[in-house]
């Protein structure tokens, strides 16, 4: 498994279940992107919806004021006292509330230049201001409640809401728009409402299980702690501004410079590539509270164990996903509605896949910094990343179009990943690299060549099935017998054992 034998009872169970939910969510997201949205909406509407969610996500990252990260960073210091825990949660909720107010004031002040920026190519966004502002509020509240549940080692429920409820809700809304039951405008209002389901459900369940009482313990609410909170929140917020820009700027600038239709193609290819990074999402979500605890206890050896094992396991899974997706894309374009238009973005997938693989190589390096006194380094590198992203996008998009936006992301994220891993090594003397990564790179290169020269099968459904089966079989055998990752081998052995039990029981029924 990708979760090592450090606090295995919790990490293995929650991590594995969380990963399954993440992949189930990816399945729904794929169904939305590949079939539901292209079938019921045109490319301009798809691009508009993508722009709305990207703007809302950027506002969330900036104006949550670091409240969710504050929960993870300082919760270990208050976990032994119920009064202090409630007081700390109250403080975090207050910070998020202040952030929401500041966000609304910020938008009122800067509305005019914002609308002007998108007026040339994506003027429709001005009709949906209340949609992305409301969505940002829902995202801020959910992000905070998700971290509160995470601090109590409860990650399955928030993951289910984020990965399943929100995506199924999107499917339903788009189908209703396509059937003419809702207009596009009315559908957007209903879509926003879905983003408030999560916070309300989590708030209700927290009240039911733990009780909902505000508290103001002096152990939490005092001047000495205020300085710590403000300092950390400021650092994380600066990082969020940089990180939000670096993650969203390619989408925003593509929409502004190339238009909503091109954004629809770009966003779809980016999301398809994002699947490669799914294992890291579950890992980060589970690892954050443990890194914080280990750092507070001075257990750098435990952090090193988390870091080294998981980077290799993440690469194994991520590179397999890359090969599977790339081998299947030509067939996928034949199956999906408007596939010939989306096929023009295949180079975007390849470039963004490189971005995601770099992210997997870095593993939990950024989480190590964020949960230590070195959080400022993460913020500084992300600000550098944001500046690079803006500059490179302005330079490359006019020349290379969609590929220019993807290359800008690859270069800036690559520099950022290198800087973070270098600092983790300098400060903590730990790194994720091992000899097995060389072997894994060789396996991936050979199989990539097989994909390139493998003859295309006329039937797209059969081609998708056979290419996926061939790549999975060859990759799995090589990885297992070369013993590249202990955790991956354990997972494969568990699958084999369960398969044998299943077939054995089937014979006697």
pLDDT at site 507:
59
The domain tally of the chain equals: 1
Counting residues of the chain whose pLDDT is more than 90, the rounded percentage is 29
Residues 7-22 have a mean pLDDT of 56
Handedness of CA 152, 232, 384, 408 (dihedral sign): positive
Q: Say if 3 falls within a structural domain.
A: no
Q: How many CB atoms lie within 10 A of CB 29?
A: 20
pLDDT in tens, 476-493: 899 888 888 877 888 777
Query: Taking 70 as the threshold, does the pLDDT of residue 276 lie above it?
Result: yes
pLDDT in tens, 48-63: 998 899 899 889 988 8
Helix 43-63 to helix 129-151 angle, to the nearest 10 degrees?
50
pTM: predicted TM-score of the whole model, two decimal places: 0.78
Range with top average pLDDT, 162-166, 265-269, 379-383, 417-421:
265-269
Query: Taking 80 as the threshold, does the pLDDT of residue 286 lie above it?
Result: no
- Between 342 and 247, where is the model more confident? 342
- 320 near 328, Cβ under 8 Å? no
| Structure confidence at residue 16 as a pLDDT band (50, 70, 90) | low
Q: Say if 1 falls within a structural domain.
A: no
pLDDT at site 504:
64
- Residue matched to tokens 């180079």: 347
Nearest Cα to Cα of residue 428 among 372, 484, 497, 468: 372
Q: Say if 2 falls within a structural domain.
A: no
Long-range contacts of 3-7 (CB under 8 A, 24+ apart): 3/283, 3/286, 3/310, 3/487, 4/305, 4/306, 4/309, 4/310, 4/487, 6/290, 6/302, 6/305, 6/306, 7/290
Residues 139-145 have a mean pLDDT of 91
Residues 141-159 have a mean pLDDT of 81
Query: Taking 70 as the threshold, does the pLDDT of residue 42 lie above it?
Result: yes
| Structure confidence at residue 398 as a pLDDT band (50, 70, 90) | very high
Query: Taking 80 as the threshold, does the pLDDT of residue 110 lie above it?
Result: yes
pLDDT at site 282:
66
**How many residues comprise the chain?**
509
pLDDT in tens, 435-478: 888 999 999 999 999 888 888 888 999 999 999 999 999 998 99
Residues 244-266 have a mean pLDDT of 85
**Which value, in Å, is the radius of gyration of the alpha carbons in the chain?**
23
pLDDT at site 404:
94
pLDDT at site 213:
76
pLDDT in tens, 298-339: 777 777 777 777 788 888 989 999 999 999 999 999 998 888
pLDDT at site 269:
92
- 104 near 152, Cβ under 8 Å? no
Q: In the numeric block, which tokens belong to residue 215?
A: 């508290």
- Residue matched to tokens 């916070």: 199
Q: Say if 432 falls within a structural domain.
A: yes
pLDDT at site 123:
77
154-158, 273-277, 329-333, 417-421: lowest mean pLDDT where?
154-158
DSSP string, 250-303: HHHHHHHHH-HHHHHHHHHHHHHHHGGGHHHHHHHHHHHHHHHHHHHTT-HHHH
pLDDT at site 2:
38
- Residue matched to tokens 């969505």: 135
Q: Say if 312 falls within a structural domain.
A: yes
CA distance linking residue 219 with residue 178, whole number of Å: 55
Q: State the average pLDDT for the chain.
A: 83
Query: Taking 70 as the threshold, does the pLDDT of residue 256 lie above it?
Result: yes
Q: How far is CA 490 from CA 13, 39, 452, 501, in A?
A: 14, 41, 31, 17
Query: Taking 80 as the threshold, does the pLDDT of residue 379 lie above it?
Result: no
Query: Taking 90 as the threshold, does the pLDDT of residue 240 lie above it?
Result: no
- Residue matched to tokens 């009872």: 9
pLDDT at site 7:
47
| Structure confidence at residue 408 as a pLDDT band (50, 70, 90) | very high
Q: Say if 401 falls within a structural domain.
A: yes
Q: Say if 419 falls within a structural domain.
A: yes
pLDDT at site 277:
84
pLDDT at site 331:
92
Q: Say if 354 falls within a structural domain.
A: yes
pLDDT in tens, 183-223: 999 999 999 999 999 899 888 887 877 777 777 777 778 77
**268-298 exposure pattern, b = at least 16 Cβ within 10 A, e = fewer:** bbbbbbbbbbbbbbbbbbbbbbbbbbbbeee
Q: Give residue 384's domain range.
A: 8-507
Q: In the numeric block, which tokens belong to residue 146?
A: 């998700």
């Amino acid at each position: 498994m990708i979760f090592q034998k450090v606090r295995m009872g919790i990490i293995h169970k929650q991590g594995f279940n969380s990963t399954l939910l993440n992949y189930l969510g990816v399945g729904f997201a794929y169904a939305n992107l590949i079939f539901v949205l292209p079938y019921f909406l045109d490319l301009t509407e798809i691009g508009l919806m993508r722009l709305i969610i990207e703007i809302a996500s950027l506002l969330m990252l900036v104006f949550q004021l670091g409240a969710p990260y504050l929960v993870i960073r300082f919760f270990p210091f208050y976990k032994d006292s119920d009064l202090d825990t409630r007081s700390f949660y109250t403080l975090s909720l207050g910070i998020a509330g202040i952030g929401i107010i500041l966000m609304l004031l910020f938008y009122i002040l800067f509305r005019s230049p914002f609308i002007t920026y998108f007026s040339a190519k994506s003027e429709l966004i001005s009709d949906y201001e209340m949609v992305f502002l409301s969505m940002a509020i829902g995202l801020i509240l959910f992000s905070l409640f998700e971290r509160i549940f995470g601090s109590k080692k409860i990650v399955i429920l928030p993951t289910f809401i984020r990965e399943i409820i929100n995506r199924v809700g999107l499917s339903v809304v788009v189908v209703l728009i396509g059937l003419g039951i809702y207009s596009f405008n009315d559908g957007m209002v209903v879509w926003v409402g879905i983003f408030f389901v999560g916070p309300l459900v989590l708030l209700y369940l927290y009240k039911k299980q733990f009780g909902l009482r505000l508290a103001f313990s002096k152990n939490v609410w005092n001047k000495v702690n205020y300085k710590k909170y403000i300092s950390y929140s400021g650092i994380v917020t600066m990082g969020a501004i940089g990180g939000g820009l670096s993650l969203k700027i390619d989408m925003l600038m593509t929409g502004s410079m190339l238009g909503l239709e091109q954004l629809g193609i770009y966003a779809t290819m980016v999301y398809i590539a994002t699947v490669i990074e799914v294992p890291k999402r579950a890992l980060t979500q589970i690892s954050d509270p443990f890194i914080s605890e280990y750092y507070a206890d001075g257990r750098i050896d435990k952090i090193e164990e988390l870091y080294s094992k998981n980077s290799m396991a993440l690469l194994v899974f991520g590179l397999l996903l890359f090969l599977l997706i790339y081998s299947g894309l030509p067939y996928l374009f034949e199956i999906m509605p408007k596939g010939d238009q989306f096929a023009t973005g295949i180079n975007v997938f390849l470039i963004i896949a490189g971005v995601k693989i770099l992210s997997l190589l870095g593993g939990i390096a950024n989480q190590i910094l964020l949960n230590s006194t070195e959080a400022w380094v993460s913020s500084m590198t992300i600000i550098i990343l944001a500046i690079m992203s803006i500059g490179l996008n302005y330079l490359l998009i006019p020349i290379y179009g969609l590929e220019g936006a993807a290359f800008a992301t690859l270069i800036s994220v690559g520099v950022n990943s290198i800087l973070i891993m270098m600092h983790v090594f300098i400060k903590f003397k730990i790194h994720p690299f091992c000899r097995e990564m060389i072997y894994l790179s060789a396996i991936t290169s050979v199989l990539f060549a097989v994909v390139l020269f493998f003859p295309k099968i006329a039937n797209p459904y059969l081609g998708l099935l056979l290419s996926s089966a061939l790549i999975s079989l060859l990759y799995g055998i090589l990885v297992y017998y070369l013993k590249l990752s202990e955790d991956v081998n354990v997972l494969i052995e568990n699958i084999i054992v369960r398969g044998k039990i299943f077939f054995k029981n089937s014979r006697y029924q």
